[in-house]
Amino acid sequence: MPTAPIAERKPATHLENHLRADLFIPELKAKKKLAVLEELTAHLAERKVTRHPEAVLEVLRQREALGSTGIGKGIAIPHGRSTMVAERAVLFARSSRGIDFEAADSLPVHLCFLIVAPPMEQDPIYLRLLADIVKSVRLARARQRLLEAPDFESVREILTASVARE
Amino acid sequence: MNEQLQMLVALQDLDLMIREAKDPERANREEELGFPLDGVVKLERTRERLAKQLDERLLQMYERMSRRYARVVVPVEGSVCLGCFMGLPTAASHRRTSGTTVDNCENCGRILYRL
Ligand SMILES: [Zn+2]
Q: How many domains does chain A have?
A: 1
Give domain limits for chain B: 3-114
Instruction: Work out the percent of chain B whose per-residue pLDDT is above 70.
Output: 90
Give chain A's length. 166
Q: What is the mean pLDDT of residues B99-107?
A: 81
Test the B interface: residue of A15, A50, A66, A82 with most B CBs within 10 Å: A66
CA of A51 to the centre of ligand 1 (A): 22
How sure is the predictor about B90, in pLDDT bands with cuts at 50, 70 and 90? low
Residues of chain A found within 8 Å of residue B22, distances taken between Cβ atoms: none
How sure is the predictor about B97, in pLDDT bands with cuts at 50, 70 and 90? low
Give the mean pLDDT of chain B: 89
How sure is the predictor about B114, in pLDDT bands with cuts at 50, 70 and 90? confident
CA of B109 to the centre of ligand 1 (A): 6
Q: What is the mean pLDDT of residues B76-81?
A: 89
Give yes or no for residue B46 having a pLDDT over 90.
yes
In a domain, A9, yes or no: no
What's the complex ipTM?
Answer: 0.90
- What pLDDT, on a 0 to 100 scale, did the predictor assign at position B98? 46
Residues A78 and A40: beta-carbon distance below 8 Å: yes
Q: What is the mean pLDDT of residues B23-40?
A: 94
Residues of chain A found within 8 Å of residue B110, distances taken between Cβ atoms: none
In a domain, A5, yes or no: no
Q: What is the mean pLDDT of residues B63-80?
A: 93
- What pLDDT, on a 0 to 100 scale, did the predictor assign at position A54? 97
Residue ranges in chain A whose pLDDT is less than 70: 1-10, 121, 165-166
Hey, what CATH class is B3-114 in?
mainly alpha
How sure is the predictor about B101, in pLDDT bands with cuts at 50, 70 and 90? confident
In a domain, A6, yes or no: no
Instruction: Among B14, B29, B70, select the one facing A62 at the smallest CB separation.
Output: B14
Domain hosting residue A96, numbered range: 14-165
Q: What is the mean pLDDT of residues B63-71?
A: 94
- What pLDDT, on a 0 to 100 scale, did the predictor assign at position A12? 79
- What pLDDT, on a 0 to 100 scale, did the predictor assign at position A6? 57
Contact B39 A84 (CB under 8 A): no
